């Protein structure tokens, strides 16, 4: 029988959390690389959990640390898919001490893997939009939603078809696929969206990406924001009628956080106001 979870987060601990894990130290220590070899521990006879994998995507990564920190800070609409994965102290209590151990564990495993992984930045000549109406005229899917899953595939850039196991091509390219559940829709009629973007990511899943690439050199698109599972974003995308996937208009102006900060000259609030 599973034990019940107890949540203890005093005002003192909350202040300590904000102080110890400030933005600068957080970015320096985690260096946007996730764990390579998830490990697990049995909870019950028939259930197994990957320690640290609070978003239950199958890997312990930076995304899990970000999500757990937001949960401890009581950020609205933040939830843990697997709370027990965050219980590093193994006391059925989630607090700042678990977050401390969580970060330390991830950093130790990052150091093991970081020496071999190489991230190679690339960029494409995407069009840039000077006004919200210009952007809106090209985006036929505008919505806010949460990332539910992240996966990867190798495509032949000439045919845009997935490569079969063991198949090679001089035009092969790694793509990241984000599965997004739309919540508020402003243009189009998206429900579950598959967003496919050229290149990999530097915030986790290195082992999966390297297995597809056949080497440790992971291509990463310049200026593309890092998306985390469970986080809500505003998307301005293009979707062709004959395609299963949606695509970005450009890396700077297709994905927005809910904050008031501008991205590529616009803010999420400006885009939502235009469609409203």
pLDDT in tens, the chain (276 residues): 333 333 333 323 333 333 333 433 333 334 333 333 443 333 333 456 788 889 887 778 788 888 898 899 988 888 898 889 999 998 989 999 999 999 888 877 766 555 678 889 998 889 999 999 999 999 999 999 999 999 999 888 777 777 766 566 667 899 999 999 999 999 999 999 999 999 999 877 888 888 888 888 899 999 898 898 888 999 999 999 988 999 999 999 999 986 656 667 888 889 999 988
Pick the CATH number of 119-275 from 2.30.30, 2.60.40, 3.40.50, 2.40.50: 2.40.50
Asked whether the whole model's pTM tops 0.85, one would answer: no
The CATH 2.40.50 portion of the chain extends over 119-275
User: Which CA distances in Å does 48 have to 41, 51, 74, 103?
Assistant: 6, 9, 27, 21
Contact assessment for residue 231 and residue 81, using Cβ atoms and an 8 Å cutoff: no
- Coil, strand or helix at 46: coil
């Amino acid at each position: 029988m599973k034990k019940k979870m107890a949540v203890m987060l005093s005002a003192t601990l909350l202040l300590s959390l904000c102080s110890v894990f400030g933005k600068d130290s957080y970015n320096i220590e985690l260096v946007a690389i996730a764990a390579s070899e998830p490990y697990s521990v049995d909870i019950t006879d028939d259930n197994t959990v990957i320690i640290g994998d609070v978003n239950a995507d199958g890997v312990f990564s930076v995304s899990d640390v970000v999500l757990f920190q937001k949960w401890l800070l009581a950020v609205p609409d933040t939830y843990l898919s697997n709370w027990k994965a965050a219980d590093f102290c193994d006391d059925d209590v989630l607090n700042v001490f678990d977050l401390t151990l969580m970060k330390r564990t991830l950093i130790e495993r990052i150091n093991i893997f970081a020496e071999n992984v190489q991230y190679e930045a690339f960029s494409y000549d995407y069009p840039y939009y000077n006004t919200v109406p210009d952007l809106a005229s090209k985006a036929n899917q505008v919505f806010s939603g949460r990332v539910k899953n992240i996966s990867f595939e190798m495509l032949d850039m000439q045919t845009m078809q997935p490569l079969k196991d063991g198949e090679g091509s001089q035009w092969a390219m790694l793509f990241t696929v984000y599965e997004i559940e739309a919540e508020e829709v402003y243009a189009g009629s998206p429900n579950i969206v598959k967003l496919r973007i050229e290149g990999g990511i530097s915030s986790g899943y290195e082992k999966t990406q390297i297995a597809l690439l056949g080497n440790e050199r992971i291509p990463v698109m310049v200026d593309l924001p890092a998306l985390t599972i469970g986080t809500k974003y505003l998307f301005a995308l293009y979707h062709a009628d004959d395609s299963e996937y949606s695509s970005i208009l450009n890396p700077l102006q297709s994905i927005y956080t809910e904050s008031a900060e501008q991205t590529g000259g616009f803010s999420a609030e400006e885009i939502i106001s235009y469609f409203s």
